[in-house]
Structure 1
Amino acid sequence: MRKTRTSSTRADSRLSRLSIVLALSASVLLSVVGPANAAPAQDPLPADIPDYQAALDAVKSPAVRNAVCRFLRTPVPTGGTPGSVQTVPETAEPCQGLPAFTIKDPLALNEITPGFVAGTSQPLPTEAVKLTQLVSSLSATVNGRNATVMLAPTRGGGWHLAAVRDGDSDASYASKATVGTLVFTEPQIRGWYQLKLNTVEPLNDQARQGLGGQASVSLSDYQKLVKARYADKLPGSEYDTKGFSSGYGTEHEADHSSSSIPLLAGSSGAALVLAGGAFVLRRHRRASTG
């Protein structure tokens, strides 16, 4: 009888410890995956993009979607003389008949700053680049075409449609940013770079040419390169005031920062402008800085 009670006691003890282990394991598992019927947690909004919810609302709005559909329906002009205008009738249901697509969540488009180019700012990530626009690509090609939605900040807060551009390269490069890295563009040469701490690495051929074929350079050395390329072409310089170009400023800096008239740009330099109730096809002359 004594042996039986001892064996029973040991068995009860083992069962008790096993129950505790199972309970703790279940608790840990629930804390990780949550209950089976619980709604998935929403991803936090990007901390580096102000008013990001407003940007999400903008790209999901019917107005922006209709603008994209009109862009995809309208062939971008490739001929004609600069300044020529062609009116295109507006479609009541611009998305009707087009393949289904969605506009992805917007990403940050960072650019080098004029102060960094001029050499008046320190070669620090916070002073070298700044957020200028947001870009969103489409979830699928539509009739063989890709497009990128570009949002510009609105005075007083929020974001508005600034442009719809042929292709999705801007969004593709912007998506390469990771935790601890920053992706930015040198718009004058369409170069894309990744900044890791204080090291600049090229992401496309234009950027590799901009670095002289080097695999990477320090942020300080990169500043010397862009200063040599653009410092004498900044707004207010002789190069700018004599009308040789629009200066250092990027093409979208001339867009209406708080206007409801979006520029729908094609890769050829032509543009579609929504003015009033009709589209206007306009040859868009891009000034060179080089």
Structure 2
Amino acid sequence: MVLAATAALGGLTPATAHAATAAGFPAPFTAADTAQARTAASTPASLRTLSRFFARDGAIAQSAARPHLVGPSVTVYFLAPGFVAGQRGAPVAAPQFVASKAVSTDGQVASVWTARTAKGWKVVNIATGGDETDYVSKAHGLGTVFREPQIDAWYVVRDGRVLPLDPDARHAVGNSGVTLAAYQRLVHAKYGDKLPGSSYDRAGEGGGYGGSAAPPRVSAAPAATAGAAVTAGAATAVAALLGTWFGIRRMRRSRRVG
């Protein structure tokens, strides 16, 4: 089984307020914010971390990886707890971080997650694959793409419907998708009693939500940390610190990365 390792990330500030778009979604990060996030993802220190990441398990020599960013950096939306709770007017998803795709000379692909912290935009996670940018691209700018991290499902909201972009999403909502109201009922039934502050959460029952855990992706902390932790999914640490965690398994064992 592929494990997902991520550091306990400190110093993140709450997501800044975003103006609502015409479709009812919080706006994506501004062009200026996205540019700052991309700059943080492409610093010499970040590229050295990417080289170590690509060289894990001896896949390639660290000195030969020569990572670089490709394609646009994008705002990544996650399913919003307020929507799950049924709060009036709550958007289905909210922006969490900026993702940039990185590639190595041997063709490996990674997603670099950059978030606003108390010290500015910082790389907070690196995950295998390019899901974050790939699924935004698949929507061709028509609608807002978001992730349901509990099952690693990707959707696009278009014309009042939640449409699937990957097999996990199709399993959840069918090939034709569902209305926003139907999707709200679906996620409320699955996660409504497992939100932060619920008796389920207070009891420490962080794992499970009435379904299978999302297939994990290899993920690494951006710095050489002493206590990177293995989680059930690459999104766990970032989602927790940005205030959107619910119903995802807690960290269960650790390994050193970097």
TM-score range, shorter chain: 0.5 to 0.7
Q: Deviations over 1:200-232 (max 9, x none)?
A: 100011111111x24121111111111111000
Paired position in structure 2 for 1:136: 100
Measure how far apart 1:53 and its partner are: 2.1
CA distance in structure 1 between the partners assigned to 2:123 and 2:222 by the alignment = 11
CA distance in structure 2 between the partners assigned to 1:67 and 1:226 by the alignment = 36
State how many pairs are aligned: 200
Paired position in structure 1 for 2:138: 176
Whether contact under 8 Å (1:194, 1:201) holds in the other structure is yes
Measure how far apart 1:69 and its partner are: 0.7
Measure how far apart 1:176 and its partner are: 2.6
Flag the 1:273–1:193 CA change in 2: closer, same or farther, 3 A: closer
Paired position in structure 2 for 1:217: 178
CA distance in structure 1 between the partners assigned to 2:98 and 2:222 by the alignment = 20
CA distance in structure 1 between the partners assigned to 2:225 and 2:88 by the alignment = 42
Whether contact under 8 Å (2:68, 2:104) holds in the other structure is no
Q: What amino acid does structure 1 have at the position aligned with 2:204?
A: G
Paired position in structure 1 for 2:110: 147
Q: Deviations over 1:50-107 (max 9, x none)?
A: 312211211221121111111111229xxxxxxxxxxxxxxxxx95222x44213311
Q: What amino acid does structure 2 have at the position aligned with 1:113?
A: A
Whether contact under 8 Å (2:38, 2:100) holds in the other structure is no
Q: 1:239 pairs with 175, 178, 200, which one? A: 200
Whether contact under 8 Å (2:47, 2:67) holds in the other structure is no
Paired position in structure 2 for 1:286: 232
Whether contact under 8 Å (1:185, 1:191) holds in the other structure is yes
Q: Deviations over 1:15-39 (max 9, x none)?
A: xxxxxxxxxxxxxxxxxxxxxxxxx
Measure how far apart 1:268 and its partner are: 5.0
Whether contact under 8 Å (2:124, 2:222) holds in the other structure is no
Q: Give the greater-gyration-radius structure (CA).
A: 1
- Structure 1: runs of 5+ lacking an equivalent: 1-46, 77-93, 249-266
Paired position in structure 1 for 2:81: 114
Flag the 1:182–1:268 CA change in 2: closer, same or farther, 3 A: closer
Whether contact under 8 Å (1:270, 1:284) holds in the other structure is no
Paired position in structure 2 for 1:10: none
CA distance in structure 2 between the partners assigned to 1:208 and 1:217 by the alignment = 10
- Is residue 161 of structure 2 the alignment partner of residue 199 of structure 1? yes
Q: 2:69 pairs with 81, 103, 107, which one? A: 103
| Percent identity for Structure 1 against Structure 2 | 31
Paired position in structure 2 for 1:70: 52
Flag the 1:270–1:54 CA change in 2: closer, same or farther, 3 A: closer
CA distance in structure 1 between the partners assigned to 2:220 and 2:177 by the alignment = 38
Q: What amino acid does structure 2 have at the position aligned with 1:147?
A: A
Paired position in structure 1 for 2:254: none
Measure how far apart 1:271 and its partner are: 5.2
Whether contact under 8 Å (1:202, 1:216) holds in the other structure is yes
CA distance in structure 2 between the partners assigned to 1:109 and 1:240 by the alignment = 25
- Is residue 187 of structure 2 the alignment partner of residue 226 of structure 1? yes
Flag the 1:221–1:48 CA change in 2: closer, same or farther, 3 A: same
- Structure 2: runs of 5+ lacking an equivalent: 1-26, 210-214, 234-246, 250-258
Give me the TM-score of the superposition, normalised by structure 1.
0.60
Q: What amino acid does structure 2 have at the position aligned with 1:134?
A: V
Root-mean-square deviation (CA), in Å? Answer: 2.9
Does 1 or 2 have the higher relative contact order (CA < 8 Å, sep 6+)? 2
Give me the TM-score of the superposition, normalised by structure 2.
0.67
